[in-house]
């Protein structure tokens, strides 16, 4: 794992003149750091990826080289060779393992992220992960509390930086690989000059290695050696007037507000017979459906029933899941889900929050995909979401244009650390959504 192990999500770019809602992946500090490394090594205007050339990641020069084996790039180090002690911090700071299940600690993390995490370039929107979302995202089955790492000021104990890892099993072609997903790298705005991010990345990497895990999956908005896939977010207006009022999107050329509202209007009720909310008793059937579906893709999570219960059982304002149960046979035939990630709206007199749904995992066997996702849009509208976002992964391309999603202007690059895939995948070969 290396200097860009951060899941990266786009924030709307209000300066985009397109008719549709649009977004631009703003750089989190970890990506800004990687870019500074590259720029400092630029020679004659050509950027050299010297740092990345020292890391066990796919290299641009090796693209398409059929003589290179797919799989781990470097073998694991003996655990006895992994550094036993934490990396050193500047003298005013100390490491702190953050127990997210402790309400007071969770509030500290929430406050740090809410005030200092990813913003758009115009400083109009900032991600606002809820405390409930953080509990969900950071405590999957088998999570390691030691991978939730804070930095505190020694004298006041104030939490000023944070980084996390969670364990995951990813299937890459035919191999199931234990990996870490690194997320939520955040440094307090006033400490961005202290160079805390690099040591935090090294520290979380050390702790992951101590659990005998040597691979990682991550995403970024910048191009580094070497993406396994490059995807794009698409956005579907649910509350077009608000999105235009707050600068998320603009009124299209030759469009009035009333015509725009009519364009995005959805039916009042879902149309699929047997469409209902997922319940605990559905976990085995949903797991069977999902495993069968994800087997089609080159890279996808290896979910068991415990994972499905954690990631997909509905949790209010965190994750919503719906399925189709045949009214005749009571067989579960289809499934759709989305998670909730609002953004704070900064400096707007009328609105403080943008409620966004993100398409998660969807499986169809009997119901047409367009119909199933349209029902998901209807439910999201009923629940007062302002916008519904989806990546062009899996089979999502099949519904985006038809259901009036518009393309965002930023790209999201997927990476594997210490695992080689010879040729980049098309987004439709990717069965993975990272939070």
Q: Read off the tokens for 162.
A: 């944070």
User: Between 12 and 333, whose confidence is greater?
Assistant: 333
**Cα gap 240→260, rounded to integer Å:** 7
Model confidence pLDDT, tens digit, residues 97-120: 999 999 999 999 999 999 998 766
Pick from 347, 367, 344: which is nearest to 356 by CA? Answer: 344
Confirm if 337 and 319 have CB atoms less than 8 A apart: yes
**Cα gap 139→33, rounded to integer Å:** 28
Confirm if 58 and 420 have CB atoms less than 8 A apart: yes
Q: What is the pLDDT of residue 136?
A: 97
Model confidence pLDDT, tens digit, residues 126-140: 889 999 999 999 999
Tell me whether residue 435 is one of the annotated catalytic residues: yes
Structural domains of the chain ordered from first start: 11-229 (3.40.630.170), 231-418 (3.40.630.170)
Percent helix / strand / coil, the chain, rounded to 5 = 30, 25, 45
- Catalytic option among 354, 391, 425, 435: 435
Give residue 151's Cα distance to chain centre: 23
Q: What is the pLDDT of residue 121?
A: 67
Give residue 399's Cα distance to chain centre: 21
Confirm if 261 and 240 have CB atoms less than 8 A apart: yes
Model confidence pLDDT, tens digit, residues 354-398: 999 999 999 999 999 999 999 999 999 999 999 999 999 999 999
**Cα gap 394→212, rounded to integer Å:** 30
The lowest-confidence range among 43-52, 215-224, 350-359, 419-428 is 43-52
Q: Which residues have a Cβ under 8 Å from the Cβ of 412 and sit 6 or more positions away?
A: 8, 9, 10, 25, 219, 220, 221, 230, 231, 232, 233, 391
Q: Identify the burial level of 142 via C-beta atoms within 10 angstroms of its C-beta, where 0-12 means exposed, 13-18 middle and 19 or more buried.
A: middle
How much of the chain, in percent, has pLDDT values that exceed 70?
87
Angle at 279 between CA 298 and CA 282, to 5 degrees: 55
Q: What is the pLDDT of residue 40?
A: 41
How much of the chain, in percent, has pLDDT values that exceed 90?
69
Pick from 24, 77, 48: which is nearest to 214 by CA? Answer: 77
Whole-model pTM: value is 0.87
Pick from 17, 14, 38: which is nearest to 26 by CA? Answer: 14
Model confidence pLDDT, tens digit, residues 219-269: 877 788 889 999 999 999 999 999 999 999 988 888 999 999 999 999 999
Confirm if 214 and 82 have CB atoms less than 8 A apart: no
Structure confidence at residue 14 as a pLDDT band (50, 70, 90): very low
């Amino acid at each position: 794992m290396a200097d860009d192990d951060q899941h990266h999500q786009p924030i709307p770019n209000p300066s985009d003149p397109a008719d549709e809602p649009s977004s631009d992946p703003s750089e989190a500090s970890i990506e800004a750091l990687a870019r500074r490394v590259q720029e400092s090594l630029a020679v004659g205007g050509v950027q050299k990826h010297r740092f990345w050339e020292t890391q066990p990641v796919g290299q641009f020069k090796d693209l398409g080289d059929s003589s290179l084996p797919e799989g781990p790039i470097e073998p694991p180090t003996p655990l006895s060779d992994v550094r036993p002690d934490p990396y050193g911090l500047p003298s005013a700071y100390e490491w702190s393992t953050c127990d997210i299940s402790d309400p007071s600690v969770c509030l500290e993390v929430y406050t740090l992220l809410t005030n200092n995490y990813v913003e758009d370039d115009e400083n109009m929107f900032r991600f606002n992960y809820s405390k409930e979302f953080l509990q969900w995202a950071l405590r999957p089955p088998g999570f390691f509390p030691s991978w939730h790492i804070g930095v505190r000021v020694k004298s006041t104990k104030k939490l000023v930086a944070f980084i996390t890892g969670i364990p995951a099993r990813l299937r890459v072609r035919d191999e199931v690989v234990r990996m870490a997903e690194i997320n939520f790298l955040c440094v307090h705005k006033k400490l961005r000059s202290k160079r805390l991010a690099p040591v935090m990345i090294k520290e979380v990497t050390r702790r992951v290695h101590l659990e005998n895990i040597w691979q990682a999956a991550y995403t970024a908005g910048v191009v580094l050696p070497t993406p396994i896939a490059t995807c794009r977010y698409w956005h579907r207006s649910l509350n077009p007037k608000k999105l235009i009022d707050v600068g998320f999107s603009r009124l299209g050329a030759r469009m009035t507000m009333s015509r725009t509202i009519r364009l995005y209007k959805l039916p009042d009720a879902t149309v699929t017979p047997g469409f209902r909310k997922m319940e605990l008793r559905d976990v085995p059937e949903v797991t069977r459906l999902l495993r069968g579906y994800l087997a089609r893709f080159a890279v996808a999570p290896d979910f068991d029933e415990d994972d499905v219960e954690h990631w997909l059982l509905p949790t209010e304002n965190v994750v919503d899941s719906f399925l189709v149960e045949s009214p005749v046979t009571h067989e579960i035939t289809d499934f759709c889900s989305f998670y909730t990630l609002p953004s704070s709206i900064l400096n707007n007199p009328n609105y403080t929050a943008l409620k966004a749904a993100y398409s998660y995992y969807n499986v169809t066997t009997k119901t047409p995909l367009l119909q199933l996702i349209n029902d998901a849009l209807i439910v999201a509208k009923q629940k007062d979401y302002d916008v519904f976002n989806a990546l062009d992964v899996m089979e999502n391309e099949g519904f985006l244009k038809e259901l009036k999603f518009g393309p965002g202007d930023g790209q999201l690059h997927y990476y594997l650390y210490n695992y080689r895939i010879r040729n980049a995948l098309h987004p439709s070969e990717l069965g993975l959504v990272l939070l």
